[in-house]
Amino acid sequence: MRESVSIGQIAGDQSYSRKCQALLEEVLGAPKVLLTTSCTHALELAALLLDIGPEDEVIVPSFTFVSTANAFVLRGARIRFADIRPDTLNIDENQIERLVTPRTRAMVPVHYAGVGCEMDTLSAIARAHRIAIVEDNAHGLFGKYKQRWLGTLGTLATQSFHETKNITCGEGGALVVNDPAFVERAEVMREKGTNRSRFFRGQVDKYSWVDLGSSYVMSDVLAAFLYGQLEVWRQIQEKRRRIWQRYHAELSEWAAARDIRCPTVPEGCEQAYHMYALILPSLPIRQALIAFLKARGIMAVFHYLPLHLSPMGQKLGGRPGDCPVSETVSDRLLRLPFFNSLDPASQGRVIDAIRDFTF
Ligand SMILES: *Cc1c(COP(=O)(O)O)cnc(C)c1O
């Protein structure tokens, strides 16, 4: 980071951005990776690239972060909320077909917790109805589905380097362009609608405004910070794998005896170890466990109020009962502390505290 400042490269697309992009392209085997200011912006870029507009519909799981849907709402699209599977909490591939209409242009599967969605089924539906797949892979970098990297299975995919994610630069993201036909326009739209990238490659002698776009380029200062972690991504993932495995080894039996569910990772999925979440029998029991842990100085959080029931989701037509699995999981899910610097002693205290919890 100091280097990017001292050599005067603090804007975007300088040496560290190029290093990050090259590393990701090489590992994933993707035609193009473009760093962005966030995953949210990468999703907005995807919506622009697909020319999503007010006549269009986009299928999105209800159980996800707002940006998965909002990026397409910004283009005026109608969101069709899909429910999730009760085991992986991924979009339920068996409920997509009934949401497809002649206006459906895209679906946005989220690989929840870094465990792959049923991509074979989703891809077959997408092909049959000529729908683009945009993977929201904020949780899933370096995970695999049937030996293929998450983030390389859709037309486009988005990554997050927000501080809550496995690999981070505070705020940041990337667009993975898997269909080469989108590469040039992606570069333009990410650079305020200009052909600045071609200009820097000497392919045009001046750069000008050529298309829609916005300012989605990550600063090289952040890219330098990011590169420090991307260089050691295997160690980071290995550390997270150990944390995940320990929770699983020490809590599975305890949980099974109490009607508490631990994460499910289907065969064929090599997960990205983004999170470890329990599903408690009820909302009051979940709330009691949060309070119990808090009294021992342990912060455990829940997430994803179903989007279809949010104030905005209801304005868009969402109603209670539309996505019953999302609704019940949202009340009962609890994420355990899980970050790269979680040391074994602290994790032991979390596990002991959970095992002391009675209800
Ligand atoms: C974190 C997250 C995002 C947004 O990422 P930002 O980089 O903060 O914009 C989008 N989708 C999912 C599923 C996320 O977890």
Cα 198 to ligand 1 centroid, rounded to whole Å: 29
158 Cβ below 6 A of ligand 1: no
Contact 192, 215 (CB under 8 A): yes
Question: In whole angstroms, how large is the CA radius of gyration of the chain?
Answer: 21
pLDDT at residue 107 in the model: 98
pLDDT at residue 232 in the model: 98
Domain boundary among 209, 230, 251: 230
Same domain, 105 and 134: yes
Same domain, 246 and 182: no
pLDDT at residue 197 in the model: 86
6, pLDDT greater than 80? no
Q: What is the pLDDT of residues 141-162, one digit of tens each?
A: 999 999 999 999 999 999 999 9
In which residue are the tokens 């473009």 written?
34
Same domain, 196 and 290: no
Same domain, 240 and 144: no
Average pLDDT of the chain is 96
Same domain, 50 and 110: yes
12, pLDDT greater than 90? no
> What are the residues whose beta carbons fall under 8 Å from the beta carbon of 151, sequence distance 6 or more?
28, 30, 135, 137, 140, 141, 157, 159, 176
pLDDT at residue 226 in the model: 98
The number of distinct structural domains making up the chain is 2
Same domain, 146 and 198: yes
Same domain, 81 and 200: yes
Mean pLDDT computed over 9-20? 89
Cα 259 to ligand 1 centroid, rounded to whole Å: 30
pTM score, whole prediction: 0.97
> Which atom of ligand 1 approaches the CA of 171 most closely?
7
Same domain, 124 and 250: no
Same domain, 116 and 195: yes
Q: What is the pLDDT of residues 110-135, one digit of tens each?
A: 999 999 999 999 999 999 999 999 99
DSSP state of 240: H
163, pLDDT greater than 80? yes
Of all protein residues, the one whose alpha carbon is nearest to atom 15 of ligand 1 is 138
227 Cβ below 6 A of ligand 1: no
39 Cβ below 6 A of ligand 1: yes
Q: What is the pLDDT of residues 45-101, one digit of tens each?
A: 999 999 999 999 999 999 999 999 999 999 999 999 999 999 999 999 999 999 999
Give the residue numbers spanning the domain of 283.
233-356
% of the chain with per-residue pLDDT over 90: 93
Of all protein residues, the one whose alpha carbon is nearest to atom 5 of ligand 1 is 39
Domain boundary among 230, 252, 267: 230
Residue 207 pLDDT class (50, 70, 90 cuts): confident
Mean pLDDT computed over 161-166? 97
Residue 259 pLDDT class (50, 70, 90 cuts): very high
DSSP state of 206: S
225, pLDDT greater than 90? yes
36 Cβ below 6 A of ligand 1: no
Whole-angstrom distance, CA of residue 336 vs CA of residue 319:
30
Q: CATH number for the domain including 108?
A: 3.40.640.10
Residue 344 pLDDT class (50, 70, 90 cuts): very high
Same domain, 30 and 174: yes
The two structure tokens encoding residue 237: 């993932």
Q: Which of 37, 43, 64, 65 to mutate to test the pocket of ligand 1 (most atoms within 8 A of CB)?
A: 65
Same domain, 209 and 304: no
Domain boundary among 173, 195, 230: 230
Q: CATH number for the domain including 316?
A: 3.90.1150.10
pLDDT at residue 1 in the model: 65
274 Cβ below 6 A of ligand 1: no
72 Cβ below 6 A of ligand 1: no
68 Cβ below 6 A of ligand 1: yes
Cα 347 to ligand 1 centroid, rounded to whole Å: 25
Same domain, 178 and 292: no
